[in-house]
Amino acid sequence: MNYFLIYDVAPDYRERRAQFRAEHLALAWAAEARGELVLGGALGDTLLPAREPGEPQGALLLFRGDSPTVAERFAHADPYVRHGLVTHWRVREWQTVVGALAANPIRP
């Protein structure tokens, strides 16, 4: 099954992340090496007025696993979460049906 870990980030995320980025990336690459994390990265949207253009609006991390536990465990260990750079996070199941990595491929 696929799961999105969705992060909302603090307004000062970009300024504060440098001191935690190496630990965050090490955690992410370790999860990728275990086959848990498929993709991850920051969201940006220049149309949202709450931040300057180009500022991260949040982040999405795509996990594969038998349950949402793998994504939840990552969030609890993430220094961005532990140090308040992430203001809110949630895990959503993603029912994938098309593509090489689809969890439940359906072909016509």
Asked whether residue 104 is domain-assigned, the answer is no
Question: Side chain identity at 22, as an amino acid letter?
Answer: A
Segment 76-86, tens digit of pLDDT: 999 999 999 99
pLDDT number for residue 14: 84
Asked whether residue 18 is domain-assigned, the answer is yes
Structure tokens at 103: 């969890």
Asked whether residue 19 is domain-assigned, the answer is yes
| % of the chain surpassing 70 pLDDT | 89
Sign, CA dihedral 10-46-41-15, equals negative
pLDDT of 103 > 80? The answer is yes
Segment 46-76, tens digit of pLDDT: 444 555 555 667 899 999 999 999 999 999 9
Asked whether residue 102 is domain-assigned, the answer is no
Q: What's the structural domain count of the chain? A: 1
Asked whether residue 42 is domain-assigned, the answer is yes
**Which DSSP state fits 49?**
T
**What are 5's strand-pairing partners?**
61, 91
pLDDT number for residue 34: 97
Asked whether residue 21 is domain-assigned, the answer is yes
Taking a C-beta distance cutoff of 8 angstroms, is the pair 81, 75 a contact?
A: yes
| % of the chain surpassing 90 pLDDT | 74
Asked whether residue 105 is domain-assigned, the answer is no
- The least confident of 7-21, 36-50, 90-104 is 36-50
- Residues of the domain holding 86: 2-48+55-94
The CATH number that applies at residue 70 is: 3.30.70.1060
Asked whether residue 64 is domain-assigned, the answer is yes
Q: What is the mean pLDDT of the chain?
A: 90
